[in-house]
Structure 1
Amino acid sequence: MFAQVGKPRDREAEITWRVEEFWRLLNGPVLPFDAEWFRRFEERLIDHTGRLDFPTTHNLIFPTGLDRATELANVSTPTLVIDTPEDPVNPPPHARHLACLIPTARLVTIPGMGHALSPAIFSPLTEAILTHTTTVDRH
């Protein structure tokens, strides 16, 4: 997939590539994939930025030095960790490992969720966030 990033394409071809080759993969194979929703998302993104180049700078970060276990052990803020069982980028057990490192973490699994924030997960994700933010100890 990332080998195709930056290939010259016109607007329509770029949008189609992003929807079908990027978002479809990140959505995961379980939940419905709303190609039209992702198409509108990409159209708005391109219209807003005025650019066709793919925003992938964060993918260029080399992971050396990203071990934060010591720092995470000191987190005292109630932390919601979302487990995304169909995530091709950070598959299980990544979320569980992260939650184990943070003493105040609450791990919530959203069945079928991949790496993408697709309409299929808006309701369970919203519920998880609202439950977390309304039940944490505020002291």
Structure 2
Amino acid sequence: MSVATTSNGDIEIAYQTVGPAGGRPLLLITGFTAPMAAWPDGFCAALVDRGFHVARFDNRDAGRSSRATRRYTLAEMAGDALAVLDALGWPAAHVVGQSMGGMVGQVLAARHGERVLSLTSMSSAPDHRVRVDPRRLGLVLRYLVLSARTPAGPAAAGEQLVRLMRLIGSPGYPPDEAWLRRLGAESFAHRTDLAASRRQVAAVRAAGDRRAELAGVRVPTLVLHGEADPAQPPRAGRATAAAIPGARFVGYPGMGHDVPRELWPAISAEIEAVAASRDGVAGPGPAAAR
């Protein structure tokens, strides 16, 4: 898949699409420091099989997108997502965001609801202060310390990513460590450095508590969360669902802060169902298989 670019002011955003252009438009937004390839090709293919034309992009300060020269906000990151929609000629799209990407998607739905057909917020929160379970603070600190280290090369970057996901991944599902090593190695040349990661953290913290704003969201909303997520406690997902009128919460036992291969059919079905609800159509539903 080729990578294209578009701009939001002085920020260049790298993006790519998957699937036929006639599908329902769906935008994937990645999490903290992650490149767009962190959305696995197989997961994107599962969404294409359900009728979507999928776009994914590198957030500013990640992947092939520009590194910023100053601090910025989640609203500006939502502007980057709008720039991708504009570049694709999409008046609106179904939006799926994970972790920090879920927060960006929430801001997008709250402030630019006319551009969002449905919202799926995964492993995310309405306020960074409900993110960390105090009982797992030590694990999260180990994750932050390890992620701050600069790997010596592509192979070391792959091993670092494996170690990181052993900390926050799904205890109920074995990780695909071969894929993680490949992703880490292939992303090494465009990895997010410490200064850039701090800017992303600052954007999340500056947003504060967004629950009052989320009360104004008027698009069909789905909240997905791992019941074993050590980075975002399940209560963060439930707080997101409680803040958005009509939002539906789905929890997955054994799922951590990732998207396990074994759950791709169930998660893609849930996304299809919330997308179909926008059109007033009874979709095949999360229990259906294709």
TM-score bracket for the superposition, by shorter chain length: 0.7 to 0.9
Secondary structure of the 2:205 match is coil
| Partner in structure 1 of residue 178 of structure 2 | 36
Kindly provide the amino acid, as one letter, of the partner of residue 73 in structure 1. Answer: A
Q: Distance in 2 between matches of 1:15 and 1:52?
A: 14
Deviations along 1:39-80, whole A, 9 cap, x unmatched? 122222225x2x584773434556355101111111111111
* Structure with higher RCO (Cα < 8 A, 6+ apart): 1
TM-score by length of structure 2 reads: 0.42
Kindly provide the amino acid, as one letter, of the partner of residue 42 in structure 1. Answer: G
The answer to whether the Cα contact below 8 Å between 1:110 and 1:125 also exists between their aligned partners in 2 is: no
Unaligned runs of 5+ in 1: none
1:84 corresponds, among 226, 230, 253, to 226
| Partner in structure 1 of residue 197 of structure 2 | 56
Tell me if 1:100 matches 2:242: yes
Unaligned runs of 5+ in 2: 1-142, 281-290
| Partner in structure 1 of residue 271 of structure 2 | 129
Give me the CA root mean square deviation.
2.5
Q: Distance in 1 between matches of 2:165 and 2:197?
A: 13
2:158 corresponds, among 3, 7, 15, to 15
Identity of matched residues, %: 30
Query: Aligned residues, how many?
Result: 136
Q: Which moved more, 1:91-100 or 1:36-45?
A: 36-45
Kindly provide the amino acid, as one letter, of the partner of residue 197 in structure 2. Answer: T
Q: Distance in 1 between matches of 2:233 and 2:255?
A: 10
TM-score by length of structure 1 reads: 0.80
Deviations along 1:86-137, whole A, 9 cap, x unmatched? 1111112111111011112111223322111332332221111111111335
Larger fraction in strand: 2
| Partner in structure 2 of residue 5 of structure 1 | 147
Mark the CA change 1:61 to 1:98 in structure 2 (over 3 Å): closer, same or farther.
same
Kindly provide the amino acid, as one letter, of the partner of residue 19 in structure 1. Answer: V
Q: Distance in 2 between matches of 1:132 and 1:62?
A: 26
Tell me if 1:110 matches 2:233: no
